[in-house]
Amino acid sequence: MYNFLKKGGLIIVAFSFFACSDGDMLGFFVSQSGGVDNRTEYSLLQNSETGVQIFTTESETYTLCLVGDTHIGNAENILKMEQIVRDSVMAIIILGDISTGKESDMLIAADFVNNSPTPVVTLIGNHDLFFNGWELFKKLFGSSVFYFEVHTPSAKDLHICLDSGNGMLGKKQYDWLQNVLKTKRGTYRHCVVYTHVNLFRTNHSQLGSANMPLEETYQLMHLLSSNHVNFVFMGHDHYREELTQNQVRYITLDALSNEKITQPSYVILSVNEAIHYQFEDL
């Protein structure tokens, strides 16, 4: 019995280490990227210097392309997708895990972001933090906690991008989010939140993919619903899921990478007086 338990435990740990390939072993024990509070502090300072990014459109309807884990190492899928959506979307939003976390792959990802004819907004994911990835991420992509606005002739919408790469928001980021929603939400028509780590564990598509701690999840759910957030888009799990809780829609995207867990896909988000989303297989 003892041997069985010992072997079983070792197998579980081994599987979990490699739940996503190219794992960072040291990161299992300690965060190498200074923690989410440090990243939030840096991002808010950076945001105050660069100002809020505003997308403006002459049309009352605009579309965004949302992409789950791209895990760039091989950029084939994202290049293919960009060519498909190029003429029809205002911007591409990558919901974290842009690359495998290795420096060479981060540079390929940055090359795509910088040279894409369609503007690209990037969130940070757990893989982007591997191998002390934050230092390179902030140089290549900048802030990890921010919001941007979309202005149409008659309305403006708020799009909030969160840093959940460590599997938690942390106190500073939560306080910032609370302040943004409490002071600004009322002046916008729609509010959409993007975060890498999915909030709920309703399936086991990836053993060991990890979520946020329960209390932080519940605290965030309450904050989002009490401030009338319309949608939350998430990645990380590589498994499509659509849930509603207290009038907030929680959508988890498939991965765009070629990992054969699910069909690579992306989401086209069409926004006017209502918000519509559609999964498109690549």
Partner 1 sequence: MKCCTHICVGVLCCLVLAGCSTEKLRIKAGTELGSSVVTDVIGGGFIMPEWLPAHNVEFSGGVKYTNERKTNVFLENSIRMPVERLKIQVINKFQYNKYFAWTIDEYLFFSRLQAVISRFDAALGLSFRTIVQNKSFQETIFEPFNVQYDVGVYIFPVENRVWNVRLGISNYDMFITERMEQFLLSLKSEYHVSEQIGVFASLFLRSAGNFNLSASYYSLYSHIGVRCIIF
Interface ranges with partner 1 (CB under 8 A): 1-2, 5, 8-9, 12, 16-17, 19-20, 23-24, 27-33, 35-36, 126, 129-130, 165-168, 170-171, 174, 197, 200-202, 204, 206-216, 218-219, 221-222, 225, 243-246
Question: Which bin fits 142, alpha (ψ -120 to 50), beta or left (φ > 0)?
Answer: left
Give the integer Cα–Cα distance in Å for 55 and 40: 23
Q: How far is the CB of 229 from partner 1 (least distance, A)?
A: 13
Q: How far is the CB of 28 from partner 1 (least distance, A)?
A: 6
Query: Which C-beta is closer to partner 1: that of 89 or that of 169?
Result: 169
* DSSP three-state, residue 94: strand
DSSP designation for 72: B
Q: How far is the CB of 240 from partner 1 (least distance, A)?
A: 16
Query: Which C-beta is closer to partner 1: that of 18 or that of 79?
Result: 18
Q: How far is the CB of 221 from partner 1 (least distance, A)?
A: 6
Query: Which C-beta is closer to partner 1: that of 92 or that of 234?
Result: 234
CA dist 225 → 32, 93, 146, 157, 244 (Å): 33, 23, 20, 17, 11
Query: Which C-beta is closer to partner 1: that of 214 or that of 274?
Result: 214
Q: How far is the CB of 154 from partner 1 (least distance, A)?
A: 31
Number of neighbouring beta carbons within 10 Å of residue 16: 15
The pairing of strands 265-271 and 62-67 is antiparallel
Q: Among all chains, which residue has been given the structure tokens 């992409």?
A: 67
Query: Which C-beta is closer to partner 1: that of 57 or that of 219?
Result: 219
